[in-house]
Amino acid sequence: MSSTAGQVIKCKAAVAWEAGKPLVIEEVEVAPPQAGEVRLKILYTSLCHTDVYFWEAKGQTPLFPRIFGHEAGGIVESVGEGVTHLKPGDHALPVFTGECGECPHCKSEESNMCDLLRINTDRGVMIHDSETRFSIKGKPIYHFVGTSTFSEYTVVHAGCVAKVNPAAPLDKICILSCGICTGLGATVNVAKPKPGSSVAIFGLGAVGLAAAEGARISGASRIIGVDLVSSRFELAKKFGVNEFVNPKDYNKPVQEVIAEMTNGGVDRAVECTGSIQAMISAFECVHDGWGVAVLVGVPSKDDAFKTHPVNFLNERTLKGTFYGNYKPRTDLPAVVEKYMNGELELEKFITHTVPFSEINKAFDYMLKGESIRCIIRMEE
């Protein structure tokens, strides 16, 4: 057992005291893990757009003070009662969704949407006892999506922790905790393009670029990037995108443009924006008879979209995905191996690195649209 097991650990964390205000590095107390929980020493974390969205308190019940962060890599410091798949010293990735192993979703080969541990953005406490494990001078500091990785130590439900190859560099594989797997899995696990096929990717942010990387790995020959910002096109070439369409350049719907470019439509389309119009376009741009469109982007609460039922009757398929259909504990280790054997390239997603003391710079880079992923080094 580690010397700190069973004790409260004092460490640094970046605390969001109120919406949209810079994070403040504070000394926090991190309680030991309770039954079914793990305490992790975070070595590297990364900023995802979801952190920024909830930090800005857009469209949800604001909950502050809070420790954000959900893409990270670290080492198990100690485990709570009943935890058997992890031990101190294991290298691990915490994930915003989990795998209890017992519910109908976990027992199904077709689902990764665990009943117990699927993402809950409103909950700021641990499931076990509805308490926080973070505090400052006795005052609770709330958790975020069960991970709260903007802290040198954090406590996570054991079902949300994937044990990974200790030889894998945590400063690279930490980005697999969220966005990269979401896009990559949408393509390789759900759209499943065949070698030589055509794929349209709507939205060339981090998730869309990961979806393009999935198309590249799958051997697609035409990977068409669709984005309203033409400056994203050059960077996207690194991820296998070899044709580009900016819908603003045409006076007709982009699905018609793509259908003309591809002799009737693409074989697969992956939508990574959350825009209703992009969702419609992605579905309507796939070829009749065999085309499959996959929705990844999260829409606004009251959104709905309309398409003619004939599009389905003409044998087009529309699917949705959550976290790329990966089960965190079962599937993430194999994704790490894809990186280790050179099949998956992660370095090109990492555009910036900052020390923990400068975490607010990561927010600036993302808000200005300058970064894909900014790695935050916990140890200065």
User: Of the listed 45, 91, 105, 114, which one is catalytic?
Assistant: 114
Which of the residues 39, 66, 105, 118 is marked catalytic? Answer: 118
Which secondary-structure segment (H or E) carries 359? helix 359-367
The residue annotated as part of the active site, out of 106, 174, 181, 285, is 106
DSSP tag of 216: H
**Cα separation of 13 and 150, whole Å?**
6
Find the catalytic residue in 26, 39, 45, 48. 48
Residue 103 annotated to the active site: yes
- Per annotation, catalytic residue among 50, 147, 149, 273: 50
48 is catalytic: yes
Q: Cβ distance 150 to 23 under 8 Å? A: yes
Residue in 37, 71, 99, 213 annotated catalytic:
71
* Count of Cβ atoms closer than 10 Å to residue 88 Cβ: 16
Q: Is 114 an annotated catalytic residue?
A: yes
Active-site residue identified among 4, 29, 49, 377: 49
- Selecting among 178, 181, 272, 285, the annotated active-site residue is 178
287 belongs to the catalytic site: no
Which two structure tokens, joined as six digits, stand for 203?
């939205």
| 100 classed as catalytic | yes
Q: Which two tokens stand for residue 320?
A: 């949705």
Cβ pair 131, 140 in contact under 8 A: yes
C-beta separation of 272 from 183 below 8 A = yes
Q: Is 102 a catalytic residue?
A: no
Contacts of residue 369, defined as CB under 8 A and 6 or more positions apart, other chains included, come to 229
Distances (CA, A) of 279 to 306, 307, 378: 10, 10, 38
50 a catalytic residue: yes
Q: Tell me the catalytic residues.
A: 48-50, 70-71, 100, 103, 106, 114, 118, 178, 373
